[in-house]
Chains A and B, each alone.
Chain A
Amino acid sequence: MTRPSCNLTAQEILDTYFLENRARLLEIASFLDRMDRAGDAAAGKEDFRYQAFSRALGLLMEPVGGRTRAIQLSFSDQSTEPIASAVGLKATGAWAGGGDEGN
């Protein structure tokens, strides 16, 4: 068994963080429901951000440990070459080129 890296017991973690994370989970559910209610829901679900979000949700259910890093990697640009110009570009939170490769 590996040495715990958190001072708290599992019971203390639940006592301290369950409610706030329950609320966050409901926020995500509500966000997805809102997408479903949109008139153009089908088109919205083709957007690379929605696709990236859906893949990240799958990573939440992966076995023990490393979920945060895995989700960060799933949203990340995996290319290595500099882009020609940054004019007019800003970060969106997900990589438009993602989705075909593993993490």
Chain B
Amino acid sequence: MKVIDPHTHMVSRTTDDYLALALGGIHTIAEPAFWPGFDRSGVASFHDYFSQLTVTEPARAARFKVRHYCWIGMNAKEAENLALSREVLSILPQYLDRPTVLGIGEVGLNKNSRNEITIFEEQVDLAARRNELLLIHTPHLEDKLKGTRIIMDILRNEPGITPERVLIDHAEEHTIGEIKDNGFWFGLTLYPDSKGSPARAVDALEIFGSERICINSSADWSVSDPLATLKTVNEMRRRGYSERSIEQVFYDNPRGFLSQCPKFSVA
């Protein structure tokens, strides 16, 4: 079974995890830029982080024949700081041009504040001007429904953005329908406590269908599992799905979305 994990944060994981990915058949991954668990003090920290994403991690992954891609952007959590955010936005183009960068992400909203919306709108504008793919972070828990709706309103109002080039991530049962109805791709994230389980992810497949869905681990520094996609593969097997239909969800779908960036090719 070949699996692509389209959303994982390997800067927070051990090198052993790369071996586990390779042994499990996950040979292609994409890592969005996000919040490290603390607010950074200046733009220099983002230079270092974007360098880590575009130089260090691809090299670390390559030792295990894992192909590492990334997304570059200003995360919603730190976007509350407008001055820092605009400094970070000013350095994005030099990293977006690097050979393993797939687009702008993960950007979006965290608590649905005015500053978060301002910085998100500026990154949507940048994506439209550069014709970049967009990976969207939707808020957590009680803020998800409201934030997902605000995000979709902003995206729909930008004529340079086409829904098929946008993946709205961390979707759950109460947001999937609206995301699909608006023509966007959607991601399901497998977190033991705060998002979905393998069983709920397969329930969503059964209810909403497999078109335009990408399932990911979003494995990071918090409670998460870099092999969560494989556990969901197993859940599909438990329910009697064919290997071909499983491969469509975990390989064909993410390849289909990510291949819209000409830099992307599978390992």
Contact = CB atoms under 8 A, between A and B. Distances in A.
B114 interface: yes
Interface string A48-81: 0000000000000000000011001101111110
B203 interface: yes
Contacts of A76: 142, 144-146, 174
B24 to A, nearest CB: 23
Interface stretch (B47-55, B238-246, B255-263): B238-246
B77 to A, nearest CB: 8
A82 to B, nearest CB: 5
B203 A68 contact: yes
Contacts of A17: 199
B141 A83 contact: no
A6 B141 contact: no
A82 B150 contact: yes
B113 A92 contact: no
Interface residues of B, number: 32
Interface string B156-177: 0000000000000000111000
Interface in A1-48: 5-8, 16-17
Contacts of B174: 69, 72-73, 76
Contact of B239 (A7, A92, A93): A7
B172 A72 contact: yes
A54 to B, nearest CB: 16
Interface residues of A, number: 29
A16 B173 CA distance: 22
Contacts of B114: 82-85
A95 B116 CA distance: 19
A73 B200 contact: no
Contacts of B140: 91
Given A69-B173, A76-B174, A84-B114, A91 B143 contact: yes
A13 to B, nearest CB: 9
B146 A72 contact: no
Contact of A86 (B116, B238, B240, B241): B116
B141 A5 contact: no
A7 B240 contact: yes
A89 B111 CA distance: 7
A82 B116 CA distance: 9
Nearest to B110: A86
B115 interface: yes
A91 B172 CA distance: 16
A29 B193 CA distance: 18
A86 B112 CA distance: 8
B141 A93 contact: yes
14 contacts: A16-B238, A17-B199, A73-B145, A75-B141, A76-B142, A82-B113, A82-B116, A82-B150, A83-B112, A84-B113, A85-B114, A86-B116, A90-B111, A91-B141
Interface of A: 5-8, 16-17, 68-69, 72-73, 75-80, 82-87, 89-95
